[in-house]
Amino acid sequence: MKFTEMLRRRWEGADSLLCVGLDPNPARFPKALQGAERPIFDFCREIVDATADLVCAFKPQIAYFASRRAEAELEDLIAYIHEAHPGIPVILDAKRGDIGSTAEHYALEAFERFGADCTTVAPYMGFDAVEPYLRHPEKGAFILCRTSNKSGDELQMLSLGEERLFEHVARLVAGPWNRTGELGLVVGATYPHELEAVRRIAPDIPLLVPGIGAQGGDIDACVKAGQSPDGTGMVINSGRAILYASSGSNWVKAARDAAMKTRDAINAARRRS
Amino acid sequence: MKFTEMLRRRWEGADSLLCVGLDPNPARFPKALQGAERPIFDFCREIVDATADLVCAFKPQIAYFASRRAEAELEDLIAYIHEAHPGIPVILDAKRGDIGSTAEHYALEAFERFGADCTTVAPYMGFDAVEPYLRHPEKGAFILCRTSNKSGDELQMLSLGEERLFEHVARLVAGPWNRTGELGLVVGATYPHELEAVRRIAPDIPLLVPGIGAQGGDIDACVKAGQSPDGTGMVINSGRAILYASSGSNWVKAARDAAMKTRDAINAARRRS
């Protein structure tokens, strides 16, 4: 099934635009997991099981696994999500960006080795860096557009005369680059005005929205700015605020409660058709 | 030792600006290696031993290892280079670009897990994506500026009024971003005019230059455009043209001959003080 179709089914079936970001940092794990044989896998699996019915997607961030030689745990985690919770798309957050045969190998890494349904890609090298992902026509890719961090301004807000760089990227991605219809854009919740600008340029494209929770983005403002005409169209990521909601023995329930509260706050801001 | 100091010693001591790019593609390996237990490691080690005296650096490209679950071979390869050929810097070509704690994990991946002396980083997210690498003050990072591929134009050549985007990136990297003095720029050999423009903006910064050999960049033009005033300042990468110079039983010697020819062609174009 195509990535965008999986996403649509979750938006509607689970009535959720929430994505749980899996950024496992063992220094913040609850005591109960310390000394476990595969703490990263165990931690993420508990989070996945506790929140699966509340989400439209999961987004593991590969750096947290790679810095700890935990690629095998990442492979097993994604396989576990597909098996235990079929239909929930997995977005591998890798932000690769390279060309030609190198990019082909990155696409193989994300889609074949790790079994992700979608990944994230940097736009600086142009369409050559995106094209190899499109050879996997059912798979998705979110292209960085307006990121949630402060110094994102340094390039993304530069004026090209008629428009700014991030708007130019939105236009490329929503237009000529989107040959499979499976591309989306990364736009931070911390900049609702820019979310609105991107949504005007790309009325139907999925937006991956980091920056709520620990990064301080306002849920109400970001949903109002970024939703598509039918009140979907967004994959709103929250990681740390859910994963580390408690470090006590109640950590699994605390994560579920935090996810539910976030999903509900998102839904309260949505346009309903 | 600082990365730039390692590089300078190789430029002078080995009298070479050549970097051999380690992009191991098993489909192109010589027959002799088919059936080997660790063909990727064995192939790269043979190339390293055959060319070490001819290079200023080695540049493994991580995608080729990651798509094949060969991270352990990459770790062992970099450790082997440091042990067998001490003083030759290893640039891990990963083109990561992310922020905050994620970027910290990518820096750990490159410098601690893999033991690289330098890596490559994408600039689209601004200084936030570079800063975590600078916390490893002896390590280097080449920031993408003007890449060798055709569609690099789509963003990099955009006009900002007074200058183009890649020139703006060059100015940021050579100026405010370069707090450790260990940053460099990636500029493709396929665009000698832009190499010249970058060298004007950043007279002393190291340039990592892909695009000669298989990609068709002209060695003479690129050296003349990109060398620093003392005839060094460049890390000119060649991968496939050396690695796959022959697929016959003479492949090791063919790789060495190709590397020597390339080093000599580079040296013939250099300014000599």
- Quote the pLDDT of residue A273: 67
Of A61, A98, A168, nearest to B63 by CB-CB distance is: A98
**Is residue B167 pLDDT above 90, yes or no?**
yes
Please indicate whether, in this complex, the C-beta atoms of B67 and A108 are within 8 angstroms of each other. yes
Residues 145-164 of A with CB under 8 A from B: 147-156, 158-161
- Quote the pLDDT of residue B242: 97
Please indicate whether, in this complex, the C-beta atoms of A126 and B99 are within 8 angstroms of each other. no
pLDDT band per the 50, 70, 90 thresholds, residue A140:
very high
Q: What is the CA radius of gyration of chain B?
A: 18
Task: Give the span between the Cα atoms of B273 and B260, in whole angstroms.
Answer: 22
**Is residue A100 pLDDT above 90, yes or no?**
no
Residue with tokens 């987004």: A59
Closest CA to A137 of A118, A114, A120, A113: A118
- B21-76 pLDDT per residue, tens: 999 999 999 998 988 999 999 999 999 999 999 999 999 999 999 999 999 999 99
Cβ atoms < 10 Å from Cβ of A45: 18
Question: Taking CB atoms and an 8 Å cutoff, what residues of chain B touch A151?
Answer: 125-129
pLDDT band per the 50, 70, 90 thresholds, residue B162:
very high
Higher pLDDT, residue A49 or B271: A49
- Judged by a CB distance cut-off of 8 A, whether residue A95 touches chain B is yes
Please indicate whether, in this complex, the C-beta atoms of B155 and A147 are within 8 angstroms of each other. no
- B207-218 pLDDT per residue, tens: 999 989 777 789
Nearest CA distance, A8 vs chain B (angstrom)? 27
State which H helix or E strand residue B185 sits in: strand B183-187
- B250-269 pLDDT per residue, tens: 999 999 999 999 999 999 99
Q: How many residues belong to chain B?
A: 273
- Judged by a CB distance cut-off of 8 A, whether residue A220 touches chain B is no
Instruction: Give A179-228 as a DSSP string.
Output: TTS-EEEEE-TT-HHHHHHHHHH-SSS-EEE--BGGG-B-HHHHHHHH--
Residues 224-263 of A with CB under 8 A from B: none
B contact test, residue of A78, A125, A130, A144 with most B CBs within 10 A? A125
Task: Give the span between the Cα atoms of A194 and B191, in whole angstroms.
Answer: 33
Question: Taking CB atoms and an 8 Å cutoff, what residues of chain B touch A124?
Answer: 97, 122-124, 144, 147, 155-156
| Global ipTM | 0.95
- Quote the pLDDT of residue A215: 76
Of A64, A109, A149, nearest to B99 by CB-CB distance is: A149
Q: What is the mean pLDDT of residues B81-101?
A: 95
Q: What is the mean pLDDT of residues B162-171?
A: 97
Please indicate whether, in this complex, the C-beta atoms of A108 and B154 are within 8 angstroms of each other. no
Closest CA to A83 of A111, A115, A118, A50: A115
Output the pTM of the full model. Answer: 0.97
Task: Give the span between the Cα atoms of B248 and B34, in whole angstroms.
Answer: 12
Angle at B205 between CA B202 and CA B208, to 5 degrees: 110
B contact test, residue of A95, A121, A133, A172 with most B CBs within 10 A? A95
Residue B160 structure tokens: 């900002």
Q: What is the CA radius of gyration of chain A?
A: 18
Residues 6-65 of B with CB under 8 A from A: 23, 25, 61, 63-64
**Is residue B230 pLDDT above 80, yes or no?**
yes
A contact test, residue of B98, B127, B237 with most A CBs within 10 A? B98
Of the candidates B2, B95, B224, B261, the residue annotated as catalytic is B95
pLDDT band per the 50, 70, 90 thresholds, residue A24:
very high
Residue B146: strand, helix, or coil: strand
Concerning whether B150 is annotated as a catalytic residue, the answer is no
Boundaries of every domain in chain A: 3-269
Contact (Cβ atoms closer than 8 angstroms) between residue B67 and residue A106: yes
Sheet holding B118-121, edge to edge: B57-60, B18-22, B234-238, B207-209, B183-187, B140-146, B118-121, B91-96
- Quote the pLDDT of residue A101: 87
Chain-centre distance of CA A265, in angstroms? 18
Q: What is the mean pLDDT of residues A127-142?
A: 97
What are the C-alpha distances in Å from A244 to residues A54, A65, A76, B107?
17, 17, 22, 23
Give the β-pairing of A18-22 and A234-238. Answer: parallel
Please indicate whether, in this complex, the C-beta atoms of B113 and A69 are within 8 angstroms of each other. yes
Q: What is the mean pLDDT of residues A153-181?
A: 97
- B98-107 pLDDT per residue, tens: 998 899 999 9
| Burial label, B27 (beta-carbon count in 10 A; 0-12, 13-18, 19+) | exposed
Tell me the average pLDDT of chain B.
96
- Judged by a CB distance cut-off of 8 A, whether residue A98 touches chain B is yes
User: Which range, of A54-58, B216-220, B240-244, averages the lowest pLDDT?
Assistant: B216-220
Question: Taking CB atoms and an 8 Å cutoff, what residues of chain B touch A152?
Answer: 125-126, 128
**Is residue B114 pLDDT above 90, yes or no?**
yes
**Is residue B108 pLDDT above 80, yes or no?**
yes
What CATH fold (topology level) applies to the domain B3-269? TIM Barrel (3.20.20)
Question: Taking CB atoms and an 8 Å cutoff, what residues of chain A touch B176?
Answer: none
| Burial label, A248 (beta-carbon count in 10 A; 0-12, 13-18, 19+) | exposed
Residue A14 structure tokens: 């689970």
Please indicate whether, in this complex, the C-beta atoms of A124 and B124 are within 8 angstroms of each other. yes
Task: Give the span between the Cα atoms of B6 and B15, in whole angstroms.
Answer: 13
Nearest CA distance, A271 vs chain B (angstrom)? 31
